[in-house]
């Protein structure tokens, strides 16, 4: 029965990344998402290896999902050790084995599983991130965790150490339930109520998974995004569940806007109404100049604002530093300056974290930037020694 579960899966590179380092499995009864990290091709390799080994292990060993995820961890770890180019790579993994009346979920990292039942969306996993831990410890409010600068700094990942501790959950399911597995490219762009809206609007799981990705890209698409949707159909409603697809609202922006019709523009430019055009030309040129000047002034103003009101933590001369401004550059211009260079050497941090610093970790205020620096200091201390055998899952910070 579970081999016939209606399901859909979609992934999108998003708007900001050059590669898609997410991977997924949608092969009933096994479903999984993995979000690779490690820069260049390494994250790609980690996620792909993890889902490949997971699939093979489940096929060979049946329902031993925990063992399969741990085998995936070992495979990624071995691969990272054997090739310097892959050093420091890892991946999240949220895997589900779907049974007739229950599902088993095995989870590491900040991808998520959700259960939609009776119109309510319930999260089945907790994020293994610094921000989530701070929320559980009462140091920040729960609703702050999703916006916290360390929301994507992982405390656990597949492939980082030879062994990994995993969360296991078994959930009873009933007809009408829908399960969603997704990477943080979805949850960092859409709120839970927005995800719920899409799931309620799209009865077909394939359409639902595609639209979740599309909405995340439309909302900014700052990360790769992957969504897997699995339905437990109501009695006698299987055909309906797979066949019904709500009509898309026309002009809702789901498709890129049509480019301006080139032929008509060309026609206007080569129009033969010579006299009126000649008269209007200087006016148009003046308007264009004024517009350009206004855009330039607005750009300068925005740049100054960005510089004065924004903060981030990055790397400067090999040290962790606090910057005022925004990371990166626009048209070759940088809008940032160093306000404090700390005594933390970037080289003492986990490789993946070093790459995160190169990108810049944005903060809401100078004080928050200071908190991030202190968090980084802790990571360095925890990284100082090899992982103790007594605690197979130390908590270094890794950011995908
Ligand atoms: Mg991600």
Q: Binning pLDDT at 50, 70 and 90, where does residue 380 land?
A: low
Q: How far is the CA of 16 from the centre of ligand 1 (A)?
A: 11
DSSP string of 353-385, one letter each residue: HHHHHHH-EEESSHHHHHHHHHHHHHHHHHHSS
Pairing status of strand 112-117 against strand 102-108:
unpaired
Ligand 1 center to 291 CA (angstroms): 39
pLDDT at 306 over 90: no
pTM for the model stands at: 0.63
CA of 186 to the centre of ligand 1 (A): 8
The tens digit of pLDDT for each residue in 249-290 reads: 333 333 333 332 222 222 233 333 333 334 455 566 676 777
Spatial distance between the Cα atoms of 147 and 124, rounded to a whole number of angstroms:
20
- State how far the Cα of 104 lies from the Cα of 98, in Å rounded to an integer: 7
pLDDT value, residue 309? 76
The rounded Cα 204 to chain-centroid distance in angstroms is 24
Query: What is the whole-number distance in angstroms between the Cα of residue 279 and the centre of ligand 1?
Result: 55
Ligand 1 mean position, distance from CA 376 (Å): 20
- The pLDDT score that the predictor gives to residue 337 is 87
Q: From ligand 1's centre to the CA of 396, what distance in Å?
A: 18
Task: Please return the burial class of 84, using the count of CB atoms within 10 Å of its CB with bins 0-12, 13-18 and 19+.
Answer: exposed
- Centroid of ligand 1 to alpha carbon of 43 (angstroms): 10
| Lowest-confidence segment of 106-120, 178-192, 362-376 by average pLDDT | 362-376
The CA 13 to ligand 1 mean position distance, Å, reads 10
Closest CA to 306 of 329, 323, 324: 324
* Backbone dihedral angles phi then psi of residue 61, each to the nearest 5 degrees: -115, 5
Q: Helix or strand or coil: residue 139?
A: coil
CA 151 to centroid of ligand 1, rounded, Å: 11
Distance (Å, rounded) from C-alpha 12 to C-alpha 384?
A: 37
Instruction: Quote the ligand 1 centre to 399 CA distance (angstroms).
Output: 9
Q: 327 CA distance to ligand 1 centroid (A)?
A: 19
Q: What is the pLDDT of residues 54-73, one digit of tens each?
A: 999 999 887 799 999 999 99
Distance 183 CA to ligand 1 centre (A): 6
Token pair of 100, please?
């007739």
Distance from Cα 152 to the centre of ligand 1, integer Å: 8
Q: How far is the CA of 35 from the centre of ligand 1 (A)?
A: 5
| 187 touches 114 (CB < 8 A) | no
Whether residue 123 contacts residue 82, with contact meaning beta carbons closer than 8 Å, is answered with: no
Distance 226 CA to ligand 1 centre (A): 9
208 C-alpha to ligand 1 centroid (Å): 19
Q: Is the pLDDT of residue 174 over 90?
A: yes
| Ligand 1 center from residue 223 Cα (angstroms) | 6
Scanning the chain, the segments in alpha helix (DSSP H) are: 42-61, 65-82, 130-136, 184-187, 192-201, 205-218, 238-243, 262-269, 274-309, 351-359, 366-383
pLDDT given for residue 22 in this prediction: 96
DSSP 187-233: HTTS-HHHHHHHHHH--SHHHHHHHHHHHHHHTT--S-EEEEEEE-P
Residues in the chain: 400
pLDDT exceeds cutoff 60 at 98? yes
The total of other beta-carbon atoms located within 10 Å of residue 110's CB is 28
Question: In the chain, what percentage of residues exceed pLDDT 90?
Answer: 50
Q: How far is the CA of 36 from the centre of ligand 1 (A)?
A: 7
User: Which has more pLDDT, 330 or 400?
Assistant: 330
Least-confidence region, from 78-87, 108-117, 302-311, 341-350: 302-311
DSSP 266-283: HHHHT-S-HHHHHHHHHH
For residue 242, pLDDT beyond 50: no
Q: Which residue has the higher pLDDT, 281 or 163?
A: 163
Higher pLDDT, 225 or 298: 225
Please give the pLDDT value at position 304.
63
pLDDT at 334: 77
Q: What share of the chain is helix, strand, coil (3-state, %, to 5)?
A: 40, 25, 35
Band (128; pLDDT cuts 50, 70, 90)? very high
Task: Enter the tokens of residue 400.
Answer: 């995908």
In Å, how far from its chain's centre is CA 366? 25
Counts for the chain of helices (H) and strands (E), in that order = 11, 15
CA 281 remoteness from chain centre? 49
Q: How high does pLDDT run on average in the chain?
A: 80
397 C-alpha to ligand 1 centroid (Å): 15
Task: Tell me the CA–centroid distance for residue 277 and ligand 1, in Å.
Answer: 53
C-alpha dist (Å) from residue 186 to 22, 38, 200, 255: 11, 19, 16, 18
Instruction: Using the predicted structure, report yes or no on whether residue 360 has a pLDDT greater than 70.
Output: yes
Q: Which residue has the higher pLDDT, 281 or 97?
A: 97
């Amino acid at each position: 029965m579970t081999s016939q579960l209606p399901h859909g899966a979609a992934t999108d590179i998003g708007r900001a990344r050059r590669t898609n380092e997410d991977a997924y499995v949608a092969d009933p009864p096994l479903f999984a998402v993995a979000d690779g990290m490690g820069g260049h091709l390494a994250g790609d390799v980690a996620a792909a290896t993890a889902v490949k080994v997971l699939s093979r292990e489940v096929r060979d060993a049946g329902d031993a999902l925990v063992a399969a995820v741990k085998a995936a961890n070992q495979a990624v770890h071995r691969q990272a050790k054997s090739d310097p180019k892959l050093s420091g790579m890892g991946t999240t993994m949220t895997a589900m084995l779907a049974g007739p009346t229950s599902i088993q979920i095995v989870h590491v990292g900040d991808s998520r599983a959700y259960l939609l039942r009776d119109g309510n969306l319930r999260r089945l996993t907790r994020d293994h991130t610094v921000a989530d831990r701070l929320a559980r410890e009462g140091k920040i409010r729960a609703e702050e965790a999703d916006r916290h600068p360390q929301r994507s700094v992982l405390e656990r990942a597949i492939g980082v150490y030879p062994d990994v501790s995993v969360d296991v959950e078994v959930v009873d399911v009933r007809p009408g339930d829908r399960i969603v597995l997704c990477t943080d490219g979805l949850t960092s762009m859409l709120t839970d109520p927005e995800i719920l809206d899409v799931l309620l609007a799209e009865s077909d799981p394939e359409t639902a998974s595609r639209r979740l990705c599309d909405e995340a890209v439309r909302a900014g698409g700052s990360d790769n995004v992957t969504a897997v949707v699995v339905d437990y159909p109501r009695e006698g409603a299987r055909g309906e569940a797979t066949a019904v697809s709500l009509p898309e609202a026309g002009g809702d922006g789901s498709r890129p806007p049509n480019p301006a019709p080139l032929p008509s523009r060309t026609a206007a430019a080569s129009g033969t109404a010579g006299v009126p055009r000649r008269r209007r030309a200087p006016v148009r040129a003046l308007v264009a100049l004024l517009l350009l000047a206004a855009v330039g002034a607005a750009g300068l103003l925005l740049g100054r604002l960005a510089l004065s009101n924004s903060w981030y933590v990055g790397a400067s001369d090999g040290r962790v530093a606090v910057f005022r401004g925004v990371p990166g550059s626009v048209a070759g211009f940088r809008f940032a300056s160093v306000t404090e260079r700390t005594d933390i050497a970037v080289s003492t941090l986990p490789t993946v974290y070093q790459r995160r610093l190169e990108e810049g970790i944005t903060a809401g205020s100078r004080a928050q930037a200071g908190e991030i620096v202190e968090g980084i200091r802790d990571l360095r201390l925890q990284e100082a020694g090899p992982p103790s055998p007594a605690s197979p899952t130390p908590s270094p910070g890794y950011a995908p």
